[in-house]
Structure formats: structure tokens, C-alpha cells
């Protein structure tokens, strides 16, 4: 039995398997020792033990029974149950968990923040589903709903501004809704809690003049409201004129014959600008700093006619004057050479002309001599 147990002992892991096997071994040893602890044998029992039988017949040799597969499977199942129980009941030593040293491959590696984006997508889908269940408006597009919502919010803001008197309706001086009359009908109390004013002298009765020039009597709050309304109307009119595409009539139009005195008596601001321009015009020009080409700061091959001037200003001027003298001398020599060449050419042309005249005279004399000889020969005949 022990041999069979130790035969299957390598199947267990270190630690838990050894403890389970030790428990099994102790139980088997206890069973065997209990079988051996018997009372002292009697005479018959001793004789039977010597002969092996009460009648002196030797018992047959003990045959070793081969273990069947059923027994092996039963022992293996009991051993595995003991190992699992030992594993579940055993206390592991506390310690820091070791990180895995296995590197992620291309199939298990994930992009950065991929899990966060996936969670965000799930939240958006869930919110979209809740919104769709809550706002089941049929086949209306979500973009149309959002656009309608924005337009309604803008209209609500415009209505609130008109209620306060900050906006003047286009094409009408006071608009279609008389908010002052509505306020008076409500007893001078606004519904909006944010616009409630404390009674700190606003209810005092004062005399004022309305927009039509009539003498009126009312509270200080009404006077301030009327003044604010006037300012808003002026601002609204200016805004409409500025945004209008129609050209506005100029405010300063001159009719008839008028002397333009503003050209001789300009205003103070324009006079200051003219004086500033005159100062800039009369100011002496400041010559710029003398900057010259520095060949040392440029790495390249220079041509044959390159001349590196000195960095000293006096030496530089001397070198430039020397070069100027050399240039004048060169030009003088060149002109002298050209003059001599022209004179030589004229002399050659004059000599050619004289030689040509002599040659022509000689040819004429020869022709005349020949002609005279021919004529004399004819006369002799």
C-alpha cells in the first residue's frame, strides 16, 4: 500500500503533496501497528502459528493479488481528493506578488489607452440608448433636434433681452410687445427673481420728460428704465446702420458757397500731426554705420580681380585712393595707345592715297605715250 502511494506521489506539487502523503503514511502506519498490537497467544494459537493450521496442515503459499484498474482508480481518486483538500486548507505564506516576466507578443499587445476608449464608447452607447428610450420622437434625426434646441435657446435669450429693454426690434421702434405695460399690469413686480431690486430710493416720485417732450411724473425706477431704453434704442439704431448694406447720408454736408476755413485753421489733433510730420521732414538724416564686406566670414573661392581691403578705415581709404590712381593711369595709357593707333592708321591711309595718285599718274602718262606713238606711226604711213 505504501509502495503504491509513493508511486503516485510525484503527481502532487511541492508542499501540498508532501503534507498529504505524510498524512496518508501516518494513517497506514497507525492501522498496521493496531493490527500488530494483539493479546499474547495461547497454546493452541501458538501451535497453530507454528504449523499454520489447527490440524497441522500447512497453509498454501500466499499468492499476491494483482491490483485491478478499479482499485487503482479508487486510490487515485482518494489521493486527488486529499491533495485538493490539503491545497484548499493550507495557508500560503504572505508575500509580494511577482510580476510576470513574459513579454507580450504582437497578438496579445494592445494599443495605448485602448481600454479607456472602449469604455468611453460603451458609455456613449449606453447614454445614446437611454436618450433614445426617453426621447422617442419617431423618425426625427438627432441633428435636427439639436439644431431646434439651439434655435429655441437663442430665441429665449433674445426674448429675455427684449424684456429687459436691451434690444430694439428691427423695423419698429418699440416692437410688438409692450413690456412696460405688462410690468405695470403686474403691479410693478417682475417674475424673474434675478431682476428684483431692493427699495433703496427707487420708488421715490420724481418729475421727468419722456421721449416725446411731455412732462411726466413717476418713480425713479421708471426714469432709469426710460433712459436705459433710450440708450438701447440709440445703440440698436447705430448697430443697424453699421450692419446695413445701404449707404448712409453723410452727416456733414455743405450746401452752397462756403469758405473752407478748416484748411487754414485745423483742429488741434490735426495740427499736432502736421507738426510731427514737419519735425520728421526737417530732421537731419543720420548716416548709417559703415559696414563693409568681410571676406573672412565667407568660405568660398574668390575670383582673380578680388581685392581684400583692410578693416581699418584710414588704410581702407588709402587703398581705395591708390586703386583709383591706378585706374586713372590705366585709362590714360589706354587712351594714349588708342590715340597713337588712330594716328598711325591715318598716316597709313595718307600714304596709300599718295601712292595711289602716283600710280594713276604714271598709268595716265604711259597711256598717253602709247597713244602718241600710235598716232605718229599712222601719220608716217
DSSP letters, 269-332, are HHHHHHHHHHHHHHSPPPPPP-----GGG--S---TT-----SSHHHHHHHHHHHHHHHHHHHH
In a domain, 309, yes or no: no
Nearest to 11 by CA among 89, 81, 66: 81
Cell reading at 91: 495557508
Query: What are the helix (H) ranges across the chain?
Result: 2-7, 16-36, 43-51, 69-89, 114-134, 142-164, 179-185, 220-243, 268-282, 313-380
| Residue 63, helix vs strand vs coil | coil
Q: Is residue 237 part of a domain?
A: yes
* Domain presence at residue 142: no
Task: Kindly report the three-state secondary structure assignment for every residue of 222-260.
Answer: HHHHHHHHHHHHHHHHHHHHHHCCCCCCCCCCCCCCCCC
Can you give the pLDDT at residue 330? 94
225 plus 153 within the same structural domain? yes
Specify the 3-state DSSP secondary structure of 15.
coil
Residue 160 lies in a domain: yes
Q: Is residue 217 part of a domain?
A: yes
pLDDT of amino acid 309? 86
Q: What are phi and psi of 205, to 5 degrees?
A: -85, 130
**Residue 194 belongs to some domain of the structure:** no
pLDDT one-digit tens code per residue, 328-349: 999 999 999 999 999 999 999 9
Give the span between the Cα atoms of 96 and 78, in whole angstroms: 34
Ranges under pLDDT 70 in the chain: 1-21, 30-72, 85-112, 124-140, 165-203, 244-245, 262-263, 284-285
Upper half-sphere CA count for residue 358 (Cβ side, 13 Å): 6
Query: 152 and 76 in one domain?
Result: no
Total domains, the chain: 2
The torsion angle over the Cα atoms of residues 342, 348, 351 and 356, rounded to 10 degrees, is -120
Residue partners of 13: CB distance under 8 A and separation at least 6: 87
Q: Is residue 29 part of a domain?
A: yes
Would you say 225 and 208 are in contact if contact means Cβ atoms under 8 Å apart?
no
**Burial (CB count <10 Å: 0-12, 13-18, 19+), residue 168:** buried
Residue indicated by cell numbers 431690486? 197
3-state class (DSSP) for residue 338:
helix
31 in a domain, yes or no?
yes
What is the predicted pLDDT for the residue at 359? 93
Domain interval for residue 227: 148-188+202-243
208 — phi, psi (to 5°)? -150, 170
- pLDDT number for residue 103: 62
Amino acid at each position: 500500500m505504501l509502495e503504491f502511494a509513493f508511486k503516485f506521489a510525484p503527481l502532487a506539487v511541492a508542499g501540498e503533496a508532501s503534507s498529504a502523503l505524510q498524512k496518508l503514511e501516518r494513517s497506514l502506519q497507525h492501522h498496521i501497528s493496531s493490527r500488530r498490537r494483539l493479546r499474547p497467544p495461547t497454546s493452541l494459537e501458538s501451535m497453530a502459528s507454528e504449523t499454520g493450521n489447527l490440524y497441522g496442515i500447512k497453509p498454501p503459499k500466499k499468492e499476491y493479488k494483482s491490483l485491478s484498474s478499479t482499485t487503482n482508480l479508487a486510490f487515485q481518486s482518494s489521493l486527488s481528493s486529499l491533495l485538493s483538500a490539503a491545497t484548499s486548507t493550507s495557508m500560503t505564506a504572505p508575500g509580494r506578488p511577482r510580476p510576470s516576466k513574459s513579454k507580450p507578443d504582437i497578438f496579445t499587445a494592445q494599443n495605448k489607452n485602448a481600454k479607456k476608449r472602449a469604455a468611453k464608447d460603451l458609455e456613449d452607447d449606453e447614454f445614446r440608448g437611454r436618450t433614445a428610450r426617453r426621447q422617442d420622437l419617431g423618425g426625427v434625426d438627432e441633428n435636427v433636434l439639436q439644431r431646434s434646441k439651439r434655435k429655441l435657446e437663442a430665441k429665449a435669450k433674445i426674448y429675455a433681452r427684449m424684456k429687459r429693454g436691451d434690444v430694439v426690434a428691427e423695423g419698429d421702434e418699440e416692437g410688438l410687445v409692450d413690456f412696460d405695460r405688462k410690468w405695470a399690469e403686474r403691479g410693478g413686480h417682475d417674475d424673474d427673481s434675478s431682476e428684483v431690486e431692493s427699495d433703496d430710493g427707487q420708488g421715490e416720485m420724481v418729475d421727468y420728460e419722456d421721449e416725446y417732450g411731455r412732462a411726466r411724473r413717476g418713480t425713479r425706477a421708471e426714469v432709469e428704465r426710460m433712459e436705459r431704453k433710450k440708450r438701447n434704442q440709440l445703440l440698436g439704431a447705430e448697430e443697424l446702420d453699421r450692419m446695413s448694406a445701404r449707404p448712409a447720408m453723410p452727416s456733414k454736408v455743405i450746401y452752397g458757397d462756403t469758405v473752407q476755413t478748416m484748411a487754414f485753421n485745423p483742429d488741434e489733433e490735426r495740427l499736432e500731426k502736421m507738426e510731427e510730420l514737419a519735425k520728421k521732414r526737417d530732421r537731419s538724416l543720420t548716416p548709417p554705420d559703415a559696414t563693409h564686406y568681410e571676406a573672412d566670414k565667407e568660405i568660398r573661392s574668390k575670383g582673380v580681380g578680388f581685392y581684400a581691403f583692410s578693416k581699418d578705415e584710414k588704410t581702407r581709404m588709402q587703398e581705395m585712393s591708390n586703386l583709383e590712381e591706378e585706374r586713372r593711369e590705366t585709362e590714360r595709357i589706354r587712351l594714349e595707345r588708342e590715340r597713337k593707333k588712330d594716328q598711325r592708321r591715318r598716316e597709313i591711309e595718307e600714304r596709300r592715297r599718295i601712292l595711289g595718285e602716283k600710280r594713276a599718274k604714271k598709268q595716265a602718262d604711259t597711256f598717253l605715250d602709247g597713244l602718241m606713238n600710235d598716232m605718229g606711226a599712222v601719220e608716217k604711213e
